[in-house]
Every structure is written in structure tokens, then in C-alpha cells.
Amino acid sequence: MATATMKQPVVAPCLICEQYNSSDAQLCKTCSAPTAIANDSAAMGRKPSIVSIVGESNVGKTVYLGFLLDMLSQRAGDFEAIPKGAFSIDIQQTVIGHMARRCFPPKTPMEVNQWYWAYYQVRRRAQNAKWADLVMPDMAGESLSAEVATPQTFGVIRNLLAKSEGALLLIDAAMAAHGSQNPDFFAMKILSYIDALRATKREEKVSMPTAVVLCKADHCPECFDHPRRFVEANLNRLWNLCKSRFENVEFFASSVIGSLGYATLADHEGVVPVPLHTALRGVLEPFEWILDQI
Amino acid sequence: MLELKKLSAGGRDMAARLLGRGKPSDADGKALPPRRVAPVEEAYDPAEPIVIDSDPFLQCVQLERFGAILRGDDKFRSRPDYATVVKKTLAVIDERFALVPEGFVTLPRTMTDAPGLPEEDIETEPFLLAKHAVTNHQFQKFVDAGGYSNLDLWPKDIWPHLIDFKDLTDVQAPRYWREGRHNKRLAQHPVVGVNAYEADAYCKWAGLRLPSESQWQMAATWRIRSAANTLRRYPWGDALDIQKCNIWATGLGQTAPVDAFKGGSAPNDVQQLIGNVWEWTASDLDMLDENGQPVVGDMLMRALRGGAFDTYFATQATGLFRTGLACIARTHNVGFRCALSLSDLPAGH
């Protein structure tokens, strides 16, 4: 009678912080990344590419990533995507579950051990292309702000951005269109941080593909008409920084919400935004561009 | 540039047919064209200007202002050709509009329609509803006839905003047109990039009106008074079929001609109530949140119905789903269709 043999788990150093963990650890004891990412990639002999999604708190990073993964799972844009591990599906389940009920998912907590991580194998079907292994963490906006303001506050963010092969910088286009300077300043801070982290010489530009994504563009349709022109006009500091220091940057517009309403909070003190219906636009394009670059 | 966003077999077949690409590839997708990354702009082919008849009555005929003809003022009625033209107009109305029988609808009062939550039962009178959404070609007639300059068609409080109702080249026209002309390639697609006021103005100019939210739901759910008391979730029945409508899952990724997806027609041949474009209604959004307070927007909101080509959740593209949008919004996925009251028809018709 044949007996089933258990596959010996591979214990590999954490992909993010390169520290070793015990074989039964679910999360890295140092940076809280799921150990399955490192162990699975080591077992397959494939090193995944990290694609970071960065942006201010409330810009929509979680919603964007959740919809992107769900679209990939549904083979949008000729893509085929395979989640590596159940943990990779959590973010899309949370986002889709909430949005289908017309409410936004909860904010990503600052605690790293509560972040979502997506580890996917992705490829284009039509071109019979090779699989790309991608790791996409859902970093909390507040944590990003803290790390950018005080480097080493969140070492995991530093490691992620240092090792990323591509980044999507999400910007609140609605705020920018209404004259707020904050999106411009925050985007500059993040890019300056990445610049300092990655460029070793002053004359050397950052080569990491960076997609600047104008989110919530349903509030300002002109973003879709000319994203570059919008950035140049409304986020001019960011535009100049990109020109000076980033050699591989592209601009996109994206929206997920078709219409936004406001409901009253249970205590009748204030209102909460509600996504009345979804209308996906421009979600896949920045990801496609990044994938082509890496 | 059209895209095949999703590879479900049914959707791909439908999308390929509408794109004129013949039968698409097999499930491996090998025969599909490589997907673009950067947007590729197709040449814009502007529609030719319309030479408008100088005779006001014949102009109404030429511009398809059916309601205006039927309600014709005394000058029209005294014309020798009035009766003949009215007869022809009625024939065209018979062809382009369908009777929605009397019935009743139940509108959930809250954002969710779970059992036990407050609802409102509304009786609907029989009325005529256009079989198709208003096309770019039809809206061009309104633009060429000076619809944006005719202040009688617009509420007074909107007059200061009229200068903002312009196209990509700053000419008064729907948001995505150029130089006041629609793209000929999209002549039979629903006009989009029009707000609720532009939809109202077109209807008023044509002598028609927008359906109310309850009338729209009656047309889509077909809850006629009968012993069976049936209610359809979709105009064609109770199950979603992405070959019968243009939503995200269909994979077309943009609007389709208004006469596509014929299989998705209601029993009276009203087409595309589900998908392709959301449709403005005449009703303000009137919906409560979980705390019984009205759901509001930054601006006054109008009820929208039906879902669009980019509606991701199939549950949001049914005959029952309620949502709204700022009246002033001019988006790429919202159009409208016209309605006509039976009382506007000549007696005996």
C-alpha cells in the first residue's frame, strides 16, 4: 500500500528583509510579510518581482489593488492570473465584498501584520507569454507617510521600495483638481524618498518603472483626456521632479466609482461616503504598462 | 479603439461580432490581436452638418421632433399637408416606440433591497417608451438646430452653466464630441457625455420627455397586472446572460450600437434597458441610508437606471437596481431614452 509522503516545507529567508524564520511561522518575525511568499518562491525556484502601490491615505490603494486583482482573476485584458496562497485572495475578497454592498472596505491598519499581501503569477494569454511572479503588498497610507517623514520608522516599507521592480503612485486627482496642494506635496515626498533610496549618484536617474495614476478621475474627466497635461497643470511640482529624477515614468487616469453619495453615520454625527455604483475605468492600463517594463 | 476585456466565450463572440472582427479566437485567445497598452486614438470622422429645412413644420419632420408635430400649433394645423404628416409621424412613432402597459413597481426605499426593508409601491399608467436610447445621430439634430442656444429648453437656474456644456473642443455639444460634431463611426451608438439637463432639453425640444424612475422599472421588469403577478429581474427573464446585454463581463469595453444585443429586448421590443449606458430618468434620487436618512450627493442627484458597459457588478445592472448621479455630470457611460404619454397622441390613435 502506497503511503503519501509530506512535502518538506522549504524555509527561505524573507523576501523583504532577508531574515530567516522558523518553519511554522506564518509571518516574518522581523517585517511581518507572509513567509509563504519566500518559501513558495524558493520551492519553485522563481524570484518574484515586487510591485509597490504607494500613495496618500484614503487615495484608494486598497480598492485599486482589490479590483485589479479581481479583474486579473476574471481574465480581463487577456491576462491569466493565479493566486499563490489563500492569503493572496483576502484583499480582493474584502474589496469586492464591500463594494458590491455599496460600502468602502475598512482602512488598512498601520500595523504591518494586518496588511494584505498578494502573491500572483500573471501572464498574457494571447501572446503566450512567460509567467511573471508578482508580490503586491497593500501598504497603509499612514505607515507610508510615517516612513517618508521619518525613515526607518517602517523598515518593511524601506525594504519594499528598495527592492521594488515597479511602482504605482496613486494620486487623488479629485483633490488636485479642486486646488488642493497636498496631493502634489505627498507625491513629491514619496518620489523624493524613492529617489534617495535608489539613486546612488546625483546624475543617475531612478530607472524603476513608475506609473503615476490619477485616481478618482471620475470627478475630473479631463484626467482621462490628457493625464500628462493634467499632471503638468495641476501637479506641477511632481511633474518637474519626474522629469528631473525619474527616467521611466508614465501617467494614467483611473476610476472605480461611478457615483458617490453620502450616508449619515449611525450616531447622526457626520456623513460617510458611499459608492452608489461602480464603473471601472483605467484600472488595468497602469498595471499593463508596469508589467511590460519589468 | 475597442477592446476585448474578458475572455468568456459568449462575451468574446458577441464583442467580436460587434467589432466586425468575425469570429474570435478559441479559448486560448491565440488569434486575438495583441492588446494595446497605451491608448490609441482612432481618426475622428466628424458627421457632416445638417442642412435644416427653412419651413418650421417640415423642419420638425426632418429633425424628428415627433411630439412637436403632434402638439402642432395652430399655424401647423391649418396647413394642407398637416393630416398627412401627422399620419406619417404616428407611423414612425409606432415603429420606434413601444407601449409599456399599466402595472406596478416596488421601489426599495433604502440602498439595499433585503427583505423587510421599507419599500414603496407605485402604480404606473400605460405610456410609450422609445425602443432605443437616443443616438449621437439623433442628438446631432438637436445641436444643429441650436438646441443649446434656445433658452426656452433650459431651466433658468441652469442658464449660467450652459457655457460649460461643451465638447472636447469647447463647442457646445456632448462632452466627447469634437467641433460640435459626433464621430460618424459612433452615429448609431447612444449619445453619452450629456447631463440630465441636456437630456431634458433634448426631450423638450423633441416634444417628448424622460421616463420617471418607476416607469423605467416597469418597462424593465414588466410587472403587468395579471393573475401570475410575475416580476422579471431582466427584461428578458430572471437570469443574467452576457450575450443579451453590454456590461463589463461582456467584454466589449465600450458602448455598442443601440440596436445591438437584440436578444436582451423586453417583450415589447424595447432594447438595451440593461447595460450599454446608464439612462437618465426624470426622477430625483430618493433613497435612504441604513439610518433612514436621505442619501445625498455633493450636488442634486437624478436617478439613473440600467447599468452600462463598464458596470462591474452584475447585480448593479438589473431592472431593479437603483442609483443616482449628479444632474450636472456628463460622463462617458450615461445616456437617455425618451418617453411619450398616451395623452399626447391624437384622440383615437
pLDDT tens-digit map of B118-145: 888 999 999 999 999 999 999 999 999 9
Mean pLDDT over A2-27 rounds to: 75
Contacts of A128 in chain B (CB under 8 A): 30
- Second-level CATH architecture of B98-344: Alpha-Beta Complex (3.90)
Mean pLDDT over B30-37 rounds to: 37
How far are the Cα atoms of B146, B149, B184 from residue B46, in angstroms, in the given order? 18, 21, 6
Mean pLDDT over B301-315 rounds to: 96
The per-residue pLDDT for range B231-275, each reduced to its tens digit, is 789 999 989 999 999 999 999 999 999 999 999 999 999 999 999
Q: What is the pLDDT of residue A277?
A: 96
* Å between B77 CA and nearest CA of chain A: 46
Whether B2 contacts chain A with CB within 8 A: no
ipTM, interface predicted TM-score of the complex:
0.88
- For chain B, give every domain's residue range: 98-344
Query: Is residue A168's pLDDT more than 80?
Result: yes
Contacts of A77 in chain B (CB under 8 A): 3, 5, 35
Distance CA B172, CA B77 (A): 33
Task: Assess contact for A254 and A60: CB atoms under 8 A.
Answer: no
Q: What is the pTM of this model?
A: 0.88
Mean pLDDT over B182-198 rounds to: 97
Mean pLDDT over B164-178 rounds to: 96
Distance CA B71, CA B39 (A): 47
Q: What is the largest distance, in Å, between two alpha-carbon atoms of chain B?
A: 67
Q: For testing the chain A interface, which of B4, B5, B36, B41 should be mutated: the one with the most A CBs within 10 Å?
A: B5
Q: What is the pLDDT of residue B183?
A: 97
The per-residue pLDDT for range A55-92, each reduced to its tens digit, is 999 999 999 999 999 999 998 888 999 999 899 999 99
Flag if B325 and A258 touch (Cβ within 8 Å).
yes
Flag if B289 and A75 touch (Cβ within 8 Å).
no
- For chain A, give every domain's residue range: 12-45, 48-293
Flag if A100 and B324 touch (Cβ within 8 Å).
no
A34-38, A63-67, B76-80, B272-276: lowest mean pLDDT where? B76-80
How far are the Cα atoms of B140, B204, B289 from residue B146, in angstroms, in the given order? 10, 13, 41
Task: Assess contact for A54 and A190: CB atoms under 8 A.
Answer: yes
Closest Cβ–Cβ partner in B5, B111, B323 for A259: B323
Strand partners for B247? none
* Å between B319 CA and nearest CA of chain A: 14
Radius of gyration of chain A (CA): 19
CATH class of A48-293: alpha beta
Q: Which is it for strands B339-341 and B127-130: parallel, antiparallel or unpaired?
A: antiparallel
Q: What is the pLDDT of residue A15?
A: 87
Angle subtended by helix axes A182-198 and A141-149, to nearest 10: 60
